[in-house]
Structure formats: structure tokens, C-alpha cells
Amino acid sequence: MRELSFTGAIEDALAHAMADDERVVVFGEDVPGLRMNLYARFGEARVRPAPISESAFLGAAVGAAMAGLRPVVEIMLVDFLPVAMSALVNEASKIAAFSGGEWQVPMVVRASCGGGYGDGGQHEQALWAWLAHIPGLSVVVPSTPADAGGLLLGALAHEGPVVFLEHKLLAEDWLDYMGGGGRTTVAFDVPAAGARGPVPETWQPTPLGRAIGLREGGDLTIVGVGVAVHRALEAADRLAAESGFEASVIDLRSVQPLDRQAVCEAVRGSRRLLVVDEDYRDFGLSGELAATVMEAGIGARYARVCVEDTIPFDRRREAQVLPNTDRIVAAASRLVER
């Protein structure tokens, strides 16, 4: 097995897809600079810089996908999607329905997301549940290099629109770009296993909608995506060491489709569900998982550790409001106690 960084895995998988399929094109602001290697290999016709016109080029991706391309359109930060959401809410997600199933929109929207490096509340949002609220949109949030590459190919193979979110604490290029800036004077709490890890020699698309269990444990089920999964694993180890309770940890990997079955099976056993989510708490993933469990008629204790408000700029306060290990351990302890 090879080892690659999170960013490297995506680039590697994407380069393969582009070499295999002429229809795959990349465009977005600054992509020649951001994706220099792809730009050098595939040329400007297929790795195209776009003006700062998210509405036009995201909307153009919809048209391009309808007319035969497989665009990978880059929106630098998920926070910028609200500028151009009509292309996703009113076009991409609905064309299949409006055409009676005749016409599909196979496009991938690639965006970085998440916080933990002091970039303020307008540049650190997660928004995956917000996107997943809209029927017809898939939303993928990988947590390791292997999943990042595999899910990118899964997204490219998917016939509908997929938003592919890369957490900035995992994607070394983004973190250096927006956080580090080449300094040795700053440090970030990067989950090592998420930022770099083994990837298959030959990429296979990972199908969307399949959660993966990363830790076994019968006392409690912790569910999340992205960086939260790594925090949950750390918290689970601490919980085991400190109080002897064993938590299972499930990485959903995609928010939509949502692997309800995996969650229900685990909670049916543990009777305790803790959702760890970097997206906003209200009307989001944590609520949907509660509904999933209740709908399945599973009685369970429940708690959630989420982002509850606009994220503060100050890194000290930021660290407190993100779903950190301390908050997870505390919530988990309350759930298992009694």
C-alpha cells in the first residue's frame, strides 16, 4: 500500500479519472494555481480558471453536465456556496425530477470546509446538512486519504450532483494556504490519521451512502463525519481508559445518502447515541439521526456535540465551540452514567 496525504489522494484519484475519461473537466477560481499538477498535465482546456462568478460557473457546471461533460467544479470554501445556491437548489438537484428521470446532472462540486485554524465564522462553516436538506443533492465528507480518493471517484461515477467536502484540517494544501502560511509559529490540531494514510495501489470508486465502523464498543454509539470522527475516536479511547466504557464510532462518510441502517443497528445494541457534528446543531445532521432512531422505534439515550452558534475568530474560543475531545468525553460520560 502507498501512503498519501489527503490532498494527494484526491489529486491522484482525480488524475486517474481525467486520464481515463476526457469528459472530466475541472474549473473554478484559481485552479491553475491550486491544482498546478493537473493544470500542467491536462492543460487549460480541462483545468480552467474561472472569474469570481460562482453563480455563473456553478450554473454552467449544471449545463455542462447535462450536455455530456463530467465537471468537477471547485468552490474554494463551502461558505461561498450561498452566493450561488440557486444552481444547486433549483437546478442541479431538480433536473432529474423535472425531466421525469430522463436527464441527469453528473457533476461534482468540490469545496473545502470546516474550522480549527482561526479563520472566523464566515470561512469555517461546515454546511453539509444544509446542503443535504435539498432532495436530489448528495453530500460526501471523507475523513481519510483512502476515503477521499475513493469517494471522489464514487462521486464522479454517480449520475446526480454531489458536493464533495474536504475538511481544511485534513487537506494539507488548504491548511497551509489559509492557516499556516509557511509559519513554524502556529500549530493546528490535525488528526494524523486523517491527513495522511494508506491508499490502494489502484483506485476503486467507493459507493456513496455506506457508513463505516471505525471502533467497536457496546456501551455507546458515536456518529459523525470528517474531523469529528477523529475527535470521536480519541474521545472513545479516553473514555475507555478513564472510565472503562467502550464506544463504537461510526463514520457516515456521506451525509446524503445517509446510512440509516448502520446507525440503527449500532444503536439498537448500545441504546445510546452521541452525534458529534461540526455543522450547526439546529435542523441538521444531529436532528436527522435522532429522527432516524426514533422512527425505527429504538429507545435510546441521546446527546449531541455540535457547533451551536457563529464560530468565533479567536482561536481559544473557537477551540471551545468546535466539537473537541473534551466536549465529547463529557457528553459521552453523561450518556453512559446512571
Ligand X SMILES: Cc1ncc(C[n+]2csc(CCOP(=O)(O)OP(=O)(O)O)c2C)c(N)n1
Give the catalytic positions in this structure: 123
DSSP 8-state symbol, 105: -
Q: Report residue 17 as a C-alpha cell.
A: 479519472
Among other proteins, ligand X, a second copy, none, the one that 47 touches (CB under a kind-dependent 5 to 8 A) is other proteins
Contacts of 191 (CB under 8 A, 6+ apart): 143, 169, 170, 227, 230, 231, 234
Rounded CA separation 290/274 (Å): 10
| Minimum gap (Å) between residue 83 Cβ and ligand X | 5
Q: Does 33 bind other proteins (CB under 8 A)?
A: yes
Q: Does 85 bind ligand X (CB under 6 A)?
A: no
Closest by CA to 4, choosing from 149, 113, 136, 104, is 149
Alpha-carbon gap, residue 217 to 29, rounded angstroms = 44
CA–CA dist 246, 221 (Å, integer): 9
52, 97, 187, 291: which one contacts ligand X (CB under 6 A)?
A: 52
Other Cβ atoms less than 10 A from the Cβ of 64: the count is: 20
- Least separation in angstroms between residue 86's CB and ligand X is 7
* CB closer to a second copy out of 177 and 302: 302
280 binds, among a second copy, ligand X, other proteins, none (CB under 5 to 8 A by kind): a second copy
Q: How many CB atoms lie within 10 A of CB 15?
A: 17
**C-beta of 279: minimal distance to a second copy in Å?**
8
* Distance from C-alpha of 222 to C-alpha of 210, rounded to nearest angstrom: 16
- Is the Cβ of residue 24 or residue 306 nearer to a second copy in the bound state? 306
Answer for which of 182, 202, 241, 337 binds other proteins (CB under 8 A) is 182
Measured from the CB of residue 36, what is the shortest distance to a second copy in angstroms?
Answer: 29
Residue 269 CB contacts under 8 Å (≥ 6 apart), including other chains: 218, 221
SS3 of 291, please?
A: helix
CB of 85 to a second copy, least distance (A): 4
Selection from ligand X, a second copy, other proteins, none that 244 binds (CB < 5 to 8 A by kind) is: none
Answer for which of 29, 172, 189, 237 binds ligand X (CB under 6 A) is: 29
* Of 27, 80, 130, 280, the one binding ligand X by CB under 6 A: 80
User: Which range touches ligand X (CB under 6 A), out of 75-83, 100-108, 164-172, 239-247?
Assistant: 75-83
Cis peptide before 257, with omega less than 30 degrees from 0? yes
Which residues form the interface with a second copy (CB under 8 A)?
55, 79-80, 82-83, 85-86, 88-90, 93-94, 97-98, 120-122, 125, 129-130, 132-136, 255-256, 258, 273, 280, 282-291, 293-295, 297, 299-304, 308-310, 312
Do residues 124 and 115 lie in contact, with contact meaning Cβ atoms separated by under 8 Å? yes
Interface map 7-26 toward other proteins (x if CB under 8 A): --------x--xxx-xx-x-
Q: Which of 83, 97, 186, 294 binds ligand X (CB under 6 A)?
A: 83
Residue of 3, 99, 216, 291 interacting with other proteins (CB under 8 A): 99
Minimum Å gap between C-beta 108 and ligand X is 19
Q: Helix or strand or coil: residue 274?
A: strand
Encode 181-246 in three state secondary structure: CCCCCCCCCCCHHHHEEEECCCCCCCCCCCCEEEEEEECEEEEECCHHHHHHHHHHHHHHHHHCCC
**Nearest distance, CB of residue 200 and a second copy, angstroms:** 31
Residues that bind ligand X (CB under 6 A): 29, 52, 54, 76, 80, 83
